[in-house]
Structure 1
Amino acid sequence: MREYPFYLGGVASAMAASITHPLDLTKVRMQAAHDASMLHSMATTVRTAGVFGLWDGISGTLLRQLSYSLVRFAAYEDFKKRLTAASDKPPSKPQLALAGALAGAAGGLVGNPADVILVRMQGDAARPPAERYGYRNCLDGLWKIVRNEGPAALARGWAPNVVRASLMNASQLDSYDVAKAALLNAGMKDDIKCHSAASFAAGTIATTVCSPADVIKSRIMNASGSTSPLRAIGHALATEGPRFVFRGWLPAWTRLQPTTMLTFVFLERLRAAVDATRDI
């Protein structure tokens, strides 16, 4: 198995997230601000902030992908090699899931500060004017959080974030590998059609598995007070019922599906470019 630069996953994720950022913005605002629907949320954003308002918080998105996604992709490949070091066989499905969960936890920890900033930047327009954070960009947000709330605020929501990241990786990266292997075994060529089909399956599985942790994470990170995960869950259950954990599933799927597909297609293209330079 060929090795590739550790940063390719982060670069591919940043490329994909730049395109699908408006969908991620809409998902967060639905989860945090209780917007009625995806279209209503997007229409509200355009009406109040203009079309470019759909890219509010883009610097936070890039910071997140170049921390969280860079680490999770790099760690996933490393854990796969470590788990199969004593064998010449390819990793099994349980090994892939374990590698994905461990890598996701590592990425979630490293990327938590960027996640806090991103969630706040994306949800800011939905807050009352007097309660808005007003971060100009991710670096301004980082500075203001540390100055006004202390460094510990950057760890806000780290527990559900790590859980969500573990679930995401275990359900997205390994399902892509499994689906791709199955398609290749079925006779498909290792091309963009195969990559797109495998990533489509990975995106749907990951959205469903991650929705509960994703909703709770957004609620906690968007709050400025001391809100514990249990308190957030209890309040949501009392006011919205158990279905709240799948609130925003459609925009989450609509965002994650193209993001997943673009990420893996970009990643495969970047790997192909690296291979081309090796063959020169």
Structure 2
Amino acid sequence: MSKESEKPKVLPGWANFAIGGLSGMLANCVVQPADLTKTRMQLLGTKSKATVVDVAKGILAKEGFLGFYTGLSAALFRQATYTTGRLGCFNATMDYYKGLYGTPSFAAKIGIGMVSGGIGAFIGTPAEVALIRMTADGRLPPEQRRNYKHVFDALARITREEGVTTLWRGAVATVTRAMIVNGAQLATYAQAREMLLPSMGDGLPLHFVSSMISGFVTSAASLPPDIVKTRIQNASKSASQMAVLTSIIKNEGVLALWSGFIPTYAKIGPHTVFTFIFLEQLQTLFFKYMM
């Protein structure tokens, strides 16, 4: 066997981005109800004492089953921008790093994940703002609802009614959260997969266990900046991260920063599982039919 044939297959740069984005979009279709429930809980705060079941029942009673998919177009558009950027950058950079230096350390994985997440988040902030607005609409009184028809209507109206810079409201908070999320999620998943591979072998059980470990760590690390980001983006007036953070702790208590942990973990864990399952299957198909 020649040295050339022994080299591991590497996806072209553009394919890393395309497959990464498509994987995130497919996974989001599965976890959208949990994500919407999480957002509604974060906006309610802890004073409502509403449980995950209470919030879910309220959505079902007032908006019907399709209410769980409110804002799906924005969620998919967010995946098409944010996840395309973050997974594309992460996988392409990992391939480049391995080619130069070999397998990256855990610290290097965290660094690559944080940079990739920051880039993807900045690109995806407009979709994030539209998603938060659309998923929050159902809990508002009818006269206060924005009633965006779809993500592009939301983007157009926000630009026309509030100015184009509003599309990047909370961009700093979004990028901060994304760097934490991706530093935790992608690095933890890659490290857990690498460590468990010798004992478990490659396959669905390995992907599932690695994803759930990654999801737990990511949920705990990302919730505080995620809640701050959500409050900023849904507010009618701009506010700094520190002002919002201080207000939450003062008025609702420090534990409010982890409000919605269960639906967050219920979303991030399966989303990671499905994202990487779709990712690896799409990569397999690409290698089989395109290379």
Task: Pick one of 69, 77, 94 that aligns with 2:107.
Answer: 94
Cα distance, 1:3 vs structure 2 = 2.4
Which residue number corresponds to residue 21 of structure 1?
32
Q: Is the 8 A contact 1:33 1:126 kept in 2?
A: no
2:211 to 180, 195, 199: 199
Q: Structure 2: how far apart are the matches of 1:200 and 1:145?
A: 36
Find out whether 1:70 has 2:95 as its counterpart: no
Q: Structure 1, unaligned stretches of length 5 or more?
A: none
What residue identity is the alignment partner of 2:214? Answer: A
Once the two structures are overlaid, the 10-residue window that deviates more, 5-14 or 78-87, is 78-87
Contact 1:199 1:260 (8 Å CA) reproduced: yes
Residue 216 (structure 1) aligns with: 228
Over residues 10-36 of structure 1, what are the superposed CA-to-partner deviations in whole Å (9 max), with x where a residue is unaligned? 101100101110100000010013351
Counterpart of 1:104 (choices 108, 112, 117) is 117
Query: 43, 53, 65: which is aligned to 1:39?
Result: 53
One-letter code aligned to 1:234: T
Q: Does 1:253 align with 2:265?
A: yes
Structure-1 residue corresponding to 2:189: 176
- After superposition, what is the alpha-carbon deviation per residue over 1:20-59, rounded to whole angstroms, capped at 9, x for unaligned? 1010000001001335111111111111111111100000
Distance (whole Å) between structure 1 residues aligned to residue 70 and residue 109 of structure 2: 35
| Alignment partner of 1:236 is 2:243 | no
CA contact (8 A) 1:33 1:123 kept: no
Instruction: Give the SS at the match of 2:82.
Output: helix
Task: Give the RMSD, CA atoms, in angstroms.
Answer: 1.4
Amino acid across the alignment from 1:105? G
Name the % identity.
30
Count of aligned positions? 277
Q: Letter of the 2:63 partner, please give it.
A: A
**Alpha carbons of 1:197 and 1:2: their partners in 2 closer, same or farther (altered >3 Å)?**
same
Higher deviation after alignment, 60-69 or 168-177: 168-177
User: Do the aligned residues in 1 keep the contact of 2:10 with 2:95 (CA within 8 Å)?
Assistant: no
How much has 1:182 moved relative to structure 2? 1.0
Displacement after TM superposition at 1:236 (Å): 1.1
Matched, 1:2 2:9: yes
String of CA shifts for 1:47-74, please: whole Å, max 9, x gaps. Answer: 1111111100000110000000000001
**Structure-1 separation of matches of 2:201 and 2:249:** 47
Structure 1 residue 193: deviation in Å?
1.5
**Deviation per residue, 1:127-166 (Å, 9 max, x gap):** 2322221111000000000000000000111111101101
SS at match of 2:147: coil
Counterpart secondary structure, 1:226? coil
Where does the alignment leave 5 or more consecutive residues of structure 2 unmatched? 1-7
- Contact persistence 1:103–1:169 (CA under 8 A): yes
Residue 83 of structure 1: how far off its partner (Å)? 4.0
- What is residue 5 of structure 2 aligned with on the other side? none
Shift of residue 183, structure 1, vs aligned partner: 1.4
Match of 1:80 in 2: 94
Quote the offset at 1:126 in angstroms: 1.1
Q: Within the alignment, does 1:145 sit opposite 2:158 as a pair?
A: yes
Query: For residues 280 and 96 of structure 2, what CA distance do their matches in structure 1 show?
Result: 22
1:79: how far off? 2.5
Length-normalised TM-score, structure 1: 0.95
Q: Distance in 2 between matches of 1:136 and 1:238?
A: 36
